[in-house]
Structure 1
């Protein structure tokens, strides 16, 4: 519409110019030449405006096609767009490619979260099934059978044990899911690691005493480290608790701290049965338990939770083990803020 108005204005100006020449000079030849020149100029203007319209139309058509690729999630075709040249279309293509990369990343993240949620629901269902079945059987036995008081008391204690296991499972799963979802923000502060170790050791003192397992701690009284004391203590407690569970009576657990240049290393060594090297990666998986450990109480979430906590602080956990002699779990936490 704008181009048509420009062309109409130019035509009106030409007609006015011809009329002016004819009225002022009364020269038909000069007027005819002027008419031809103006017609030629109008023709050139028309060609230029038509060319501009085609260029603009092609430009917007290309944008439309590229946006269709984006809406249709044709990411491979989008990656083939020309965005390396110094043109306006190339700059627009750069933005389209960037948007496509963001959408693809969000799509992968969403799919990963969906798979993680499905896995979590499956794990919870599997783990809850056993104690719930046991509770149902115990309830029916107590309700429908005439039992001696001693037997009834024994079954009630068993029910209490199953309820404790169920409560521990649900509490652990809530912590894990909140950590994975980022709902729990770890607060790293420069605190004394000795106090964090003391808090972790205090939680396993009773079960260790029952098995006559002394816990030796080698750490300076003042060992400042940038970490979250509460959650780090929980992670170390989970590792130490496993050490007590899988160690024989009258054995020994050793906890030592080494200050390195970039990391602080916390070694937790036991004299337990040991872990096959092929299982080093598996033991940190959620709910993983070896066949030989099924008789020992536990649900297989402690090491998984410990690794999540340490990784949230930009640290990592390693394990070394010798079958029949014991295992050493090494926790590495960065020294820098």
Structure 2
């Protein structure tokens, strides 16, 4: 009988804790009462910790929003003045070292674009890590997403005479957030184009499994050494072989984090000199 009363009292304590209504009963010298007191202190500390975490999240959200907003106007102004200066240089006649000045402007434009990309990537990364934005998967067909990702990559691919070949025309569905998964798949495809030689082909295919839908992006690039594969998804990591290429080393990190939030994951198969194949696994859902 005593054991039943003890279990019932513990059960009521846990129920009250879960609903946030826990209150200490009259104190006595029993072990259960001392446990009740400790339980109250634990819940109070947990509540304070949760409140502090909420405040910290709001502070990060505000900081990220401020950085994004405050850098937008300066970057726009830099682009404007670069454009005006370029027009001025092109209309000048008899100017010495004109070509050199135009070359400097071109480099300034390139660095401005790189800075903009870095700011955007850091903003996305901060929002994901602090759960400021939520990834909301919903069941939908994969083909529209692949079509949009390819459309956005075509211009860069054409500059290098790279063919993006999508072999999939089916109607398979998976559970994913369209906007964020487009970012994840787009990052992988952008890398495939970036690190592939001119005139090569990037092949996209889809394989259905019982629980997952796998999107394969396979290139004919330089490949990845086995010891590098675990590192490429780290923040700001760039292998020695590709540091001459544009990039900041955030894309694959974002891809992995986005997929994790959708109950998905990414795998890589590669050998140096034989290209790389990234397999993006999206959960099919119910």
Using structure 2 for the length normalisation, give the TM-score. Answer: 0.70
For 1:155-175, what per-residue CA distance to the aligned partner results, in whole angstroms no more than 9, with x for missing partners? 111111111111111111111
Partner of 1:93: 38
3-state SS of 1:226 partner: strand
Q: Provide the C-alpha distance between the structure 2 equivalents of 1:147 and 1:91, rounded to a whole number of angstroms.
A: 85
CA RMSD between the two structures: 3.0
State whether structure 2 residue 269 is matched by structure 1 residue 327. Answer: no
For 1:245-271, what per-residue CA distance to the aligned partner results, in whole angstroms no more than 9, with x for missing partners? 111122221111111111111111111
Q: Provide the C-alpha distance between the structure 2 equivalents of 1:299 and 1:89, rounded to a whole number of angstroms.
A: 55
For 1:87-125, what per-residue CA distance to the aligned partner results, in whole angstroms no more than 9, with x for missing partners? 32233334445556x379869x89x99xx9xxx9xxxxx
Out of 195, 218, 234, the position equivalent to 1:269 is 218
3-state SS of 2:232 partner: helix
Q: Which has the higher contact order (CA 8 A, sep 6+)?
A: 2
Q: Which has the higher helix share?
A: 1
Task: Tell me, yes or no, if the aligned pair for 2:149 and 2:185 is still in contact at 8 Å.
Answer: yes
Change in CA separation of 1:99 and 1:316 when aligned onto 2, cut-off 3 Å? farther
Equivalent residues in 2 for 1:92-171 (5 A)? 92-97=37-42, 102=46, 147-171=96-120
Task: Tell me, yes or no, if the aligned pair for 2:174 and 2:212 is still in contact at 8 Å.
Answer: no
Q: Provide the C-alpha distance between the structure 2 equivalents of 1:104 and 1:323, rounded to a whole number of angstroms.
A: 52
Partner of 2:251: 302
Partner of 1:244: 193
Q: Provide the C-alpha distance between the structure 2 equivalents of 1:94 and 1:181, rounded to a whole number of angstroms.
A: 29
Change in CA separation of 1:156 and 1:147 when aligned onto 2, cut-off 3 Å? farther
- CA offset at residue 147 of structure 1? 4.8
Equivalent residues in 2 for 1:1-337 (5 A)? 87-97=32-42, 102=46, 147-337=96-286
Partner of 1:18: none
Q: Provide the C-alpha distance between the structure 2 equivalents of 1:280 and 1:147, rounded to a whole number of angstroms.
A: 50
- The runs of at least 4 aligned residues of structure 1 exceeding 4 Å deviation read 97-100, 103-107
- CA offset at residue 235 of structure 1? 0.9
Change in CA separation of 1:104 and 1:262 when aligned onto 2, cut-off 3 Å? farther
For 1:173-216, what per-residue CA distance to the aligned partner results, in whole angstroms no more than 9, with x for missing partners? 11111111212122322222100011111111122122222222
Using structure 1 for the length normalisation, give the TM-score. Answer: 0.60
Change in CA separation of 1:153 and 1:335 when aligned onto 2, cut-off 3 Å? same
Partner of 1:80: none
How many residue pairs get matched?
224
Q: Provide the C-alpha distance between the structure 2 equivalents of 1:267 and 1:95, rounded to a whole number of angstroms.
A: 52
Structure 1 unaligned regions, length at least 5:
1-84, 121-137
3-state SS of 1:87 partner: helix
For 1:256-288, what per-residue CA distance to the aligned partner results, in whole angstroms no more than 9, with x for missing partners? 111111111111111111111111121111111
Change in CA separation of 1:288 and 1:199 when aligned onto 2, cut-off 3 Å? same
